[in-house]
Structure 1
Amino acid sequence: MKRTIAHFIHEKMKINQRFIYNQMVRLKKYRPIIIGSFADDGSHPFPLVNYYHLNDIGHFGRFAKKQNIVAIHAHHGKHAVEILPLCVAHGIPLIVSIRGRDGSAKYNSFRRNQKRYSLLKEHGALFLPVCRYLADELVTLGFPPEKIHVLYGGIELDLFPYRERTIPASGDIIILSIGRLVEKKGFLTLVRAFWRVRAKHPRCRLRIIGAGKEEENIRRLVNELGLAPFVELPGAMDAAAIAQEMDRAHLFCLASETAPDGDIEGIPNVLKEAMASGLPVVSTNHAGIPELIEHRRTGYLAPEKDDKELANGICFFLEHPEQAPLFTKQARKVIEQRFNLAKQMKEQERLYDLIAKKTR
């Protein structure tokens, strides 16, 4: 039997987590299986290939030997903490992806992550933050630097073909933003920036795609600023629908910021998708985003929580449409070279090789 990587997820993936699913099922050198803490009742947003409920496995050591498991890959820090005791008990290397909040050393997150990762730092085999920024955060939390390797998330280029954009001479100008409606996505800052933009460019409309606990606060601010006719929140969408939204939009903006509890981004995949599709992008100097976007070369970066400068970034592209192709062509090259899913899957398997060699 082919060498097997067992991917561990504590809970069902959300519709916006296709990037995690791709990392699990698109292996070539290794056979993937999925182990989870939930029943497969058919409601999962993606097909669960070779799925095993943790409670149904029985003797884990015999199961691992039968499946020829060379490592377990947990796709979030908190998931890793759950599966760690089994890995230690049966001598199975544990690989851990770190994606954002789970790697934060900011504010309350520092104390929480230091405490819950005390054993993981010692026994984990490999830690894969999605950007250099998070790699530095892990070092601050006390993770061994020699066990840390950055693995950038890749996107499916065929879903997001490049198309040069122009600002229409008449009709609506669509500014698009996508993400879970949580504090670190900065949607309140974006709405304030949009209020500034509309004062100068009244044809603009804002579409915010996503769902989450901040929706009520976002809608309240939209109403307070008199923006209800010009801001739409249609809810969460799958990858295909998001690709269609990007094809219809004229500009993309994500106002990511550090949340009061220390929650942070890695590098949001929607920014990569927007850059791949040819949309001019405006975002913030937050977490790993500057590793993706070079200010005034492949996009425009504003300071966190600065709605005035964010509005300036949006207005820059609205008022200098002839410069947009200079940005977007370079942005597409960055995605093809560094954030291409096919290339990143090869790098992921190369990192698996480092661990698999030690288990022979």
Structure 2
Amino acid sequence: MKQTIAHFLHEKMKINQRFIYNQMVHLKKYRPIMIGSFADDGIHPFPLINYYRLNDIDDFGRFAKEQNIVAIHAHHGKHAVEILPLCIAHRIPLVVSIRGRDGSAKHQSLRRNQKRYHLLKQHGALFLPVCRYLANELITLGFPPKKIQVLYGGIELDLFPYRERTIPANGDIIILSIGRLVEKKGFLTLVRAFWRVHAVHPRCRLRIIGSGKEEENIRRLVSELKLDPFVDLLGAMDAASIAREMERAHLFCLASETASDGDIEGIPNVLKEAMASGLPVVSTNHAGIPELIEHKRTGYLAPERDDLELANGIRFFLEHPERIPSFTKKARKVIEQRFDITKQIKVQERLYDEFIKKTR
């Protein structure tokens, strides 16, 4: 039997977590299994593969030997804290992916994460932040630098084929944005920026994919700015539906910002998907986003919470459509070189190799 990586799931996966699922099931060198706290009711956005409920395992030490488990991989810092006692008890190395809020050293998150990770910093074997920005945040939180390795998340390039875009001479101009409707995604800033853009380019429509607790606030602002006929809130969608929306869009914008409670991004996968598909992208100088987008070369970056400059970024592409192919071809190359799931799985397996060798 191959060496096994047991991926810990605190709860059932959500429809927007395909990127986590891919890091489990695309492994080739290692055999993936899933362990978790919930009963498998058969209702999942993605099929569970070799799933074992922890409460159904009588002797985890014997189970680990039978399954040839060489490490447990938790895909969020909070979930790592939950599974850590089991790892310590059975001397199984713990790998932890850090993706955003769970690695923040900002505002209230600093004290919360310092307290939460007291034992994890000591006993965790390998920490995999999804960008250099989060790696530096972990160091601020007191994690040992020698245990930190950046692992950029990859996307499935075949789902997002490149197509050269232009701004249509007639009809609607579709600006697309995707993300959970939470503060750090910056949708209120985006709506204000769109209001500025629409005053000059009235053919523009804004389509927002996602759900979350900020929906009511977003709808209220849309109404206050009298944008109801021009802004569509579409709810959550699966990957195939998102790909179709990207196919019909002309420009992509994500206005990420640091939330009042310290919640931050890593590098949003929707930006990678938009760049792969040939959409010109406008975003912000937030967290790991500048590691993905180079300002005025592969996209346009505005300061956080600056709706005027965000609007200027959108207008830049609307008013200079001849420059779009130059931007998007370079952007696609960045994704192919650094954010392809096939390449990044090989990097992930190499990092497994290195730390497993050290822990044996």
Pairwise TM-score range, normalised by the shorter structure: over 0.9
**Aligned residue pairs, count:** 360
The CA distance in 2 between the partners of 1:40 and 1:231, in whole Å, is: 38
- SS for the counterpart of 1:330 is helix
Instruction: Verify: 1:174 aligned to 2:174, yes or no.
Output: yes
Alignment partner, residue 114 of structure 2: 114
Alignment partner, residue 4 of structure 2: 4
- How much is the aligned-residue C-alpha RMSD, in angstroms? 0.6
Alignment of 1:252-291 (within 5 A): 252-291=252-291
Per-residue displacement from partner, 1:54-86 (whole Å, max 9, x unpaired)? 111121111101100000000000000000000
Alignment partner, residue 328 of structure 1: 328
Alignment partner, residue 202 of structure 1: 202
Q: Which amino acid aligns with 1:71?
A: A
Q: Which amino acid aligns with 2:74?
A: A
Per-residue displacement from partner, 1:125-147 (whole Å, max 9, x unpaired)? 00000000000000000000000
Per-residue displacement from partner, 1:251-274 (whole Å, max 9, x unpaired)? 000000000000000000000000
- SS for the counterpart of 1:325 is helix
Q: Which amino acid aligns with 1:156?
A: E
Instruction: State TM-score, norm by structure 1.
Output: 0.99
Alignment partner, residue 296 of structure 2: 296
CA drift of 1:39 comes to 1.1
CA drift of 1:205 comes to 0.1
Q: Which amino acid aligns with 1:252?
A: F
CA drift of 1:165 comes to 0.4
CA drift of 1:358 comes to 3.5
Per-residue displacement from partner, 1:111-158 (whole Å, max 9, x unpaired)? 000000000000000000000000000000000000000000000000
- SS for the counterpart of 2:28 is coil
Instruction: Verify: 1:225 aligned to 2:225, yes or no.
Output: yes
The CA distance in 1 between the partners of 2:38 and 2:196, in whole Å, is: 46
Instruction: State TM-score, norm by structure 2.
Output: 0.99
- SS for the counterpart of 2:190 is helix
Asked whether the 8 Å contact 1:70–1:359 carries over to 2, the reply is: no
The CA distance in 2 between the partners of 1:16 and 1:244, in whole Å, is: 16
Q: Which amino acid aligns with 1:319?
A: E
- SS for the counterpart of 1:235 is coil
Percent identical among aligned pairs is 86
Alignment partner, residue 85 of structure 1: 85
The CA distance in 1 between the partners of 2:349 and 2:58, in whole Å, is: 29
Alignment partner, residue 315 of structure 1: 315
Alignment of 1:1-360 (within 5 A): 1-360=1-360
The CA distance in 2 between the partners of 1:305 and 1:58, in whole Å, is: 51
CA drift of 1:14 comes to 0.9
Per-residue displacement from partner, 1:3-62 (whole Å, max 9, x unpaired)? 000000101111011000000111000000001111111111100000011111121111
Asked whether the 8 Å contact 1:71–1:355 carries over to 2, the reply is: no
CA drift of 1:234 comes to 1.1
Q: Which amino acid aligns with 2:107?
A: Y
The CA distance in 2 between the partners of 1:356 and 1:57, in whole Å, is: 24
Structure 1 unaligned segments of length 5 or more: list them: none
CA drift of 1:355 comes to 2.4
